[in-house]
Amino acid sequence: MRKKIVAGNWKMNLTLEEGKQLSSEIKDFVRQNPLQNLKGQPGVILFTPFIHLASVAADVAESEGLEAGAQNCHTEEKGAYTGETSAMMIQSAGAGNVLIGHSERRSYFGETDEVLAKKTEIALKNNLRPMFCCGEVLEERNAENHFQVVKKQLEKGLFWLSPVDFAKVVIAYEPVWAIGTGVTASPGQAQEMHAYIRSIIAEKYGDIVAHNTSILYGGSCNAQNAEELFAKEDVDGGLIGGASLKAADFSTIIKSFS
Ligand code: PGA
């Protein structure tokens, strides 16, 4: 059975102190509301800035189902790449997850499908669970190209993986027009795309792998709309940006499975 997941993407927000405070509030919430007792038994991942990662990973280490992750990694293991952070370093900081291909990385940092395939490879090699992001921009949706765009992103980024490796990946569908805009995909739009993604996974890797792949929705998902989105059959949780920065909102989202 595929895992339900609620992940917070802190992006470039919060000082170290603020980040530690937020993670300790989420930890308290999980202590009072053990994830395995909540509806959907969700796993929770905090994707923090690199500066916060080792502290947050240590802080949540004893909390069942609560994990830390990085928002990016370099394509190489190590070397002369000033300012960069490798998958091996993330693993050594005690984090088990990494976001790959967030639309902000694709658009502001020019990360191509080829680069993202390499990042996925190095992440898996270092025993990190990649959360691979995909999604179309508004013009692509308006031109009704959104299925094709997402298909291409997945084919180039992931579909070259062996079935064993693919089974370790989580997918986050994040329509770019919904990220940070306050405009959320309707539950129907999310379900339609998630079902499509599952269908192309089934074509490539078979029904069992497709059935077991967690596909999260991201893009202005918040405490008010999470329940309706998570109620959809193929929506296995969310990747939450803005609403993950407040413990109360994020906790409400964690409890939103029905
Ligand atoms: P948002 O961001 O929830 O603030 O729209 C989601 C994301 O970018 O992962």
**To test ligand 1's pocket by mutation, which of 179, 225, 249 has the most ligand atoms within 8 angstroms of CB?**
179
Q: Looking at the annotation, which residues are catalytic?
A: 102, 174
Q: Whose CA is nearest to atom 1 of ligand 1?
A: 241
Q: Domain extents for the chain?
A: 5-254
For the chain, residues with pLDDT lower than 70 are: none
pLDDT score at 96: 98
Considering the segment(s) 5-254 as one domain, its CATH architecture is: Alpha-Beta Barrel (3.20)
pLDDT score at 107: 97
pLDDT score at 86: 98
**To test ligand 1's pocket by mutation, which of 72, 184, 240 has the most ligand atoms within 8 angstroms of CB?**
240
Q: What is the 3-state secondary structure (H, E, C) of the chain?
A: CCCCEEEEECCCCCCHHHHHHHHHHHHHHHHHCCHHHCCCCCEEEEEECHHHHHHHHHHHCCCCCEEEEECCCCCCCCCCCCCCCCHHHHHHCCCCEEEECCHHHHHHCCCCHHHHHHHHHHHHHCCCEEEEEECCCHHHHHCCCHHHHHHHHHHHHCCCCCHHHHCCCEEEECCHHHCCCCCCCCHHHHHHHHHHHHHHHHHHHCHHHHHHCCEEEECCCCCCCHHHHHCCCCCCEEEECHHHCCHHHHHHHHCCCC
Question: Which numbered atom of ligand 1 lies nearest the CA of 179?
Answer: 5
Angstrom distances, CA of residue 126 to CA of 77, 87, 226: 9, 6, 32
Å from CA of 181 to ligand 1 middle = 9
User: Ligand 1 within 6 A of 221 CB?
Assistant: yes
pLDDT score at 1: 83
Q: What is the pLDDT of residues 59-84, one digit of tens each?
A: 999 999 999 999 999 999 999 999 99
